[in-house]
Chain A
Amino acid sequence: MVGALTLSAGGPLGAQTDFYNTSPGRPLRVEDAVPVEYRGVDLNVAPIRLDFMRDDTRFWSLHPEATIGILPRTQLQIAMPIAYVDAPTTSTRGVAGLEVSVLHALNMETSIPALAVAGDVSLPVGPLGGPVTYGTLKGIMTRTLPWARFHGNAQFTAGPSTSSNDSATSAANDGRDLSRWLAGIAVDKTFALHSLLVTAESFAEQPISSGASVAWSAAAGLRYQLAPRWTMDAGVGRRFSGDDRAWYLTFGSSYALGLR
């Protein structure tokens, strides 16, 4: 098991303004450096992602997760992705690993950007969870300006490379959303009076499969506060290069509550 650390910048987060706090996949890959509030719980009930691959393969992923503010500026996240790979001739589905991560914001943004570190462990659980444990170390930075907010993410994953010739293993690893490394940036604009955040990102990643080429992706999305406890998000993106070029869509909602 490998621990992963993330460095990120922390900004203010209100209990009723969760729309302002992005997290990986909700809706974009690049996240901000703001953890869930201390004693807060964020339940991502049924976030869905759909990838339209080149060879008429559809990749569905359901990514339920719970994030808990276990300490000041520190969150624990547990997720169990469920994947369904619908290829022209075959299909497979099942749990695609168990992810446990810890994010710790080092500071709150001042004239110094908000910085955070995160560690993530992907355990080989379920039929699409693969045979190996991976660990990821991640650094996050957020800078807020009056007109926009910028985020930078960089991460490295330790663990064996997989063979891209093995379709089952490849599907499993796709299910776990693994990259050898990933670096990206995002920008978001908040419409405070409407509780709406619009965001866009671009990132590069080296797939965990051996011999795969670097993939560039770009995406855009939004987060919207429906009610004090409910937030919804949606995004659309495109993997422009690499071996698995695809369009993808994400949609999800989260429910905020607190520890008693």
Chain B
Amino acid sequence: MRLTAEEKKILRGEQGRAVQEALQLQLEVGKFFGAKRFVPVSNVHMMGDIEVMGDAGKSFLERAAQSGAKCRQPTTTNARCIDFAHVEHLKQDANEARKEKELIACLRRMDVITADTCINYQTLYQPHLGEHVAWGDTGTVIYANSVFGARSNFEAGPAALAAGLTGRVPEYGFHLDEHRRGTFQVNLKADLNDLADWGAIGKIVGSGHQDYYAVPVFSGVKRTPTADELKQLGAALASYGSMGMFHMVGVTPEAPTLKAAFGGRKPKEVMTVSNRDLERVYAGYDKQNNPLNLVVFSGPQQSLFEMKTLAALLKGRRVAKGSQLFITTSNGVKSAAKELGYLHDIEQSGAVVLEGVCFYILQNLPQMRVREGWSNLVTNSAKLANIIGAHKFNTILRRTGECIDIACTGKDVR
């Protein structure tokens, strides 16, 4: 890779060991992918919590913080594994909660903004067309690339932290024009009336194309989708397909026309998604004769608009006896939802709103599942339905209203 004078200095250790090691990591990754140079980034979003990092990752971070290393670009954190107000209620490990607090302190010493949200693109920072950023959480990256036209690769925890420390990333993948063009076309014929439908599209398209560099171009969309709908679509594409970018003709900034989205190339494939395909997704889940006693809205965290919808659906209703309903959101959204009265209506129903976390990374979740007698997990998030499998949940994707009905009755009308 071509290195600037400053990068050579960093590699010689002239700016401290932590920055030197960070650039060495980025250099190896850049070499792997054939990057020719580094590009500066203006914003960094990283995942770093005790459930994900483990003791080894925490020790690494403590060493870096102790060396006095600081992030040189605004760096925010993704959802974490503990909401400290709910440690006792969820019977989470007090020792792990202590470590999580130490970890947060460590990150703050390094000038990391511990915002603890996976919807930073809705609540914290909206990069502009062509802006290079280094974001972690695949859902944030696909949103940045696709909806904003910003440029980021998936930057995993240590890689995002490295970007924060060096202020740059190796230029490969979605930083380059050649990887941002569409590779195949998806003609949308389905009526997409619920957030779960958008996630189901992501499941259908992503499952069949597990490739980081596969870039679907959606055509035929019947109306302008909302940010929350694009959030569910992107999160599911990234989750099922490991994809980092999509286009939607007439909606996303690099797809004013179908031709522009493909950048002069021909689609390798054209597929169509119809209502029947969506119904097939919903019909593919089976409760396996176990109770429907857990409903979760999470992965990604809920926006204020989603909180408003959930409040309206839950107003005057009660979560069924023996059932539990969890909703996760950010500190900022929860505060606003409280002010607006949404939180009151949600909590009156017996639902639990967790802040700053994502359900699937909750500390102690496998033990919680066994203790609470959970087998099925019902959700309107196709991403959550996919990723929680390692914790041995049987997941069921349902539309938002159906999820609420299941939470309040324990029954699935399908």
Query: Do A and B assemble together?
Result: no
Which A residues form the contact surface with B (CB < 8 A)? none
